Amino acid sequence: MELHARAPHDSLAGLARNLFMDTNPTLMQRALGAYLGLAIGDALGATVEFMTAREIAAIHGVHHNIVGGGWLRLKAGQVTDDTEMALALGDALLRGGLDDANVIARAYVTWMQSCPVDIGNTCRRGIRRFMLQGTTAATAAPDSAGNGAAMRNLPAVLATLHDENAFEETSITQAHVTHNHPLSDAGTLTLGRMTRRLIRGEGLAAAHAEVALLLEYISEFRFSPWPGMTSGYIVDTVQTVLDAFFTTTSFEDCLVKVVNRGGDADTTGALAGQLAGALYGVDAIPERWLKKLAPNVHTAIREQTIHLLALRPEIQEVMPKHCPAPVHLRPRTTTATAI
């Protein structure tokens, strides 16, 4: 029967066993690969955000090193709103946000008040609405189909690896604080489901199945042949990310391909890094990139990953002893000017 093929991953015991043993890469390596992949794609892509592929080729040849700069004048290894909002969400989920949208919305407020290096318009509008009105869900709006909800959703995946319904509920709750649009919901859920199944060890076929399901219902997301759009519109972002992910065979090739297309390159880089990291595992991330990533971000991601996976007591049993206490989002140490 069909179910038997997935049985080892569907039981919590199997999931827990999978954390540190059994497979190569292990579940922990895939989870860490996804989160560090997200940050590395953000740091790599931010250099060429809003440039065209032609401009990137003229200036960089092939852009393949984390060097900072870009329109935000970043330090090498510095991340932007994509990674920072994910860390804010992860922090909120560790503090009770799984059961309370207010905890999530407040974490976004704290982040916005920390003078982030960048923030999307829809995010700013949604966080301001919560501050002024106290509502945790935006009303549906045609102009809220940006990629801002999808780019920060990874912690929801990690916190609910054992429970698909909880994953969907948490994803939609965190998304709707700022983005309430059916295409944003569909993109956020599909990228999350793909990541979730990859981390659980279900392999590339499971990722393909999730995409097939999306395309069956919303053909607008068709990405082959790649339509060539790289904006922050969720449809453009998903198409660009999926094309890079499915047409490459290594973490490095996937990220180099996606960021050199320019446009919203830090966000396509982040999401491609999340998928590729979940598939290939943390050991597939080039050392030269890992070394460049801002150390406080690297540490926060490692600790948050462990604690998000450990939210379930059944999984905690196989966690290493003496896990460090959760590290919360630290205040920014740079002086980059917000625009």
Nearest distance, CB of residue 15 and Mn ion, angstroms: 32
- Which of 221, 264, 275, 293: binder of Mn ion (CB under 5 A)? 264
Residue placing its CB nearer to Mn ion in the complex, 15 or 44: 44
Q: Which pairs count as long-range contacts for 314-320, CB under 8 Å and 24+ apart, including other chains?
A: 314/12, 314/13, 314/16, 314/162, 315/12, 315/15, 315/16, 315/19, 315/161, 315/162, 317/16, 318/16, 318/17, 318/19, 318/20, 319/19, 320/20
- Which of 80, 171, 178, 304: binder of Mn ion (CB under 5 A)? 80
> Is the distance from CB of 98 to CB of 159 less than 8 angstroms?
yes
Please report, as a single letter, which amino acid is at residue 208. H
Query: CB neighbours of 171 closer than 8 A, spacing ≥ 6?
Result: 153, 156, 157, 188, 189, 192
Q: Decide if residue 240 touches Mn ion (CB under 5 A).
A: no
> Which parts of 44-73 interact with Mn ion (CB under 5 A)?
none
Q: Is 211 exposed, middle or buried (0-12, 13-18, 19+ CB in 10 A)?
A: buried
Please identify, among the stretches 61-69, 82-90, 195-203, 330-338, the one whose residues bind Mn ion according to the rule CB under 5 A.
Answer: 82-90
Residue placing its CB nearer to Mn ion in the complex, 267 or 274: 267
Residue placing its CB nearer to Mn ion in the complex, 151 or 189: 151
Residue placing its CB nearer to Mn ion in the complex, 160 or 260: 260
Residue placing its CB nearer to Mn ion in the complex, 71 or 217: 71
Nearest distance, CB of residue 38 and Mn ion, angstroms: 11
Nearest distance, CB of residue 97 and Mn ion, angstroms: 22
> Is the distance from CB of 136 to CB of 100 less than 8 angstroms?
no
Q: Decide if residue 81 touches Mn ion (CB under 5 A).
A: yes
Tell me how many residues contact Mn ion (CB under 5 A): 6
Task: Report H helices in 95-221.
Answer: 101-112, 121-133, 154-159, 164-176, 182-199, 203-217
Please identify, among the stretches 26-34, 76-84, 90-98, 236-244, the one whose residues bind Mn ion according to the rule CB under 5 A.
Answer: 76-84
Please identify, among the stretches 51-59, 257-265, 294-302, 319-327, the one whose residues bind Mn ion according to the rule CB under 5 A.
Answer: 257-265
Q: Decide if residue 84 touches Mn ion (CB under 5 A).
A: no
Task: Report H helices in 200-337.
Answer: 203-217, 234-246, 251-259, 265-280, 287-292, 295-309, 313-316
Hey, CA dihedral for 156, 306, 300, 71, is it positive or negative?
A: negative
Q: Decide if residue 266 touches Mn ion (CB under 5 A).
A: yes
Please identify, among the stretches 26-34, 74-82, 235-243, 295-303, the one whose residues bind Mn ion according to the rule CB under 5 A.
Answer: 74-82
First to last CA, the chain: 56
Which residue's Cβ lies closest to Mn ion? 80
Backbone angles phi, psi at 52, to 5 degrees: -90, 160
- Which of 173, 184, 239, 267: binder of Mn ion (CB under 5 A)? 267
Please identify, among the stretches 192-200, 265-273, 288-296, 318-326, the one whose residues bind Mn ion according to the rule CB under 5 A.
Answer: 265-273
Q: Decide if residue 91 touches Mn ion (CB under 5 A).
A: no
Identify the helix (H) or strand (E) that includes residue 92: helix 81-92
Instruction: Give the residues lining the site for Mn ion (CB under 5 A).
Output: 80-82, 264, 266-267
